[in-house]
Amino acid sequence: MKVISYGGGVQSTALLVLAAHREIDYPTFLFANVGNDSEHPATLAYIREVASPYANRAGIDLHQLNRVRRDGASETLMQRLNRPDTRSIPIPVRMANGAPGRRSCTADFKIRVVGRWLREHGATAIEPATVGIGISLDEIHRANRRRCEPHEQIEYPLLDLRLRRTDCERIIEEAGLPVPPKSSCFFCPFRTVDAWRHQRRHEPKLFALSMQLEETINKRRAALGRDAVYLTRYGRPLAQAIPAEDLTDSTADEEDGSCDSGWCMT
């Protein structure tokens, strides 16, 4: 069994094109959707309107997977974050000094969701599935950060082909497809400052939801006697960290926690 962990971004979409052209042998793509209320709407729209139809035409199986709890109920990341009984925060919120906290969102809503599908379809420790991850040559430092699960064997097809992100963009464009936006949860604390500025200027509804989430998290932490945390590295509430009067986009593009590879930086 050979699958690609599909994140809906540039690198994994390039893998989709390469698979469609039979330049790599991965007939199945798995998109672990952390929730329609959590994934960036642009990523969901791209998968729905571009990637899925393209995969279907090429004979590639692109499955959208959702987290299912042990009681059989589905759960999104936003729902987890808003549960009144949640004491831990699964996303890497920023401490007062700007350092990110620990996270479990990638493991719970991506890795385990894909792993469950693999096991249900026959992957075992004796006969593991091959899982391709879309890490390009310019991101080689991201490779091998994640512990390999017993039922899987990790491969990096873009590294094997010596392809960079710019090569991935070219591959997508030459296939006649639009280049997808960077994929991530719209409230991810790993988003760049420019991404937050763009959200406040062009996606005010998402920015309002992000502010609301930050407030909800801190109300719960205050009730537990814990210090406040933030969605940016500036150590203050989102509305103050990204003020409305300072929304000039810069050309800087810091590394962020995008899900282009399907594993959220892991």
Averaged pLDDT, 227-240: 94
Tokens of 137: 């040559």
Tokens of 152: 């899987």
> Position 9: which residue type?
G
Of all residues in the chain, the percent with pLDDT exceeding 90 is 76
Q: Rounded to 5 degrees, what angle do the CA atoms 55, 185, 41 make? A: 55
- What CATH topology corresponds to 2-184? Rossmann fold (3.40.50)
Averaged pLDDT, 93-99: 90
Q: Which residues contact 80 (CB under 8 A, 6 or more apart)?
A: 86, 90, 108
| Residue 259 confidence class, pLDDT cut points 50, 70, 90 | low
pTM of the model: 0.90
Tell me the C-alpha distance between 106 and 253, whole Å: 23
The tokens 């959590």 sit on which residue? 38
Tell me the C-alpha distance between 108 and 256, whole Å: 20
pLDDT digits over 60-73, tens only?
999 999 999 888 88
The secondary structure of 122-139 as a DSSP string is T--SSSPEEEE----GGG
Task: Identify the pLDDT of residue 251.
Answer: 44
Domain edges within the chain:
2-184, 191-251
Of all residues in the chain, the percent with pLDDT exceeding 70 is 91
